[in-house]
Structure 1
């Protein structure tokens, strides 16, 4: 029984999931700081209200319907989605596309940033050139 538990815990996907949860919790703080520090004050200024929660309150008997609360939650959700996509997902996907293109074609765009692989390849080629016999031409192995 303990052996099976140990195998379950040490399985790679369980550890990966635990790391993802911890990183996700930390990432939530970053996204909330961007939304609460930048976008919510802008929305408050646009609607000329300290909080959308107090906007659109309808009294029905002893209860009240808070349309502003729902509107604020929807707007905040959309802002979080936009921030996550354009600040984090889109740049990462763009970098992956450039890396995939580089791997497939072997051609580096003039605008592409220099990577460690580029530097190591250049160093390898320089070392191979310096160690080549004087009379012959030596080409480095790929």
Structure 2
């Protein structure tokens, strides 16, 4: 069982996935910092000095208890902006890679020269079609 686990872990796909997760986590932190520290303050200034972190609804119970519940919709807006930036970035990267693969495969197909056997078989096929 240990041997099977070692083979599984050392496969290329698992190692690639581990690297992708680590890079993704770091990318997520960078995007969160970009949104929280740069974009949202600029958007807040453009909207009249709004601080999105402070946007919240405070709900107090009807019984008059001292307990208050805050629904922080400003933090939710910031998380949505994070998500949109990450989603657009990943979409762009995937499109770039699929475009490159498609282009490479088209070039490979176009550059393939048929073998002598294939040419001979095509000639035989064409002769048989005419008869």
Q: Does structure 1 residue 73 correspond to structure 2 residue 72?
A: no
Which runs of 5 or more structure 1 residues have no equivalent in the other structure?
Answer: 107-142
Unmatched tracts of structure 2, length 5 or more? 108-131
**Structure 2 residue 12 is matched with structure 1 residue 12:** yes
Give 3-state SS (helix, strand or coil) of 1:63's partner.
Answer: coil
Q: TM-score of the superposition, structure 1-length normalised?
A: 0.55
Map Cα deviations across residues 107-134 of structure 1 (whole Å, 9 max, x no partner). Answer: xxxxxxxxxxxxxxxxxxxxxxxxxxxx
RMSD: 2.8
Aligned residues: 103
Higher relative contact order (CA 8 A, sep 6+): 2
Corresponding position of 1:84: 86
Q: Runs (4+) of structure 1 moved beyond 6 Å? A: none
1:63 aligns with 2:75: no
Distance 2:81 2:48 in 1: 16
Counterpart of 1:99 in structure 2 is 100
State the Cα distance separating 1:99 from its structure 2 match. Answer: 2.6
Q: Against the structure 1 CA distance between its residues 21 and 66, is the aligned structure 2 distance closer, same or farther, given a 3 Å change threshold?
A: same
Q: Look at both structures and tell me which one has the larger radius of gyration over its CA atoms.
A: 2
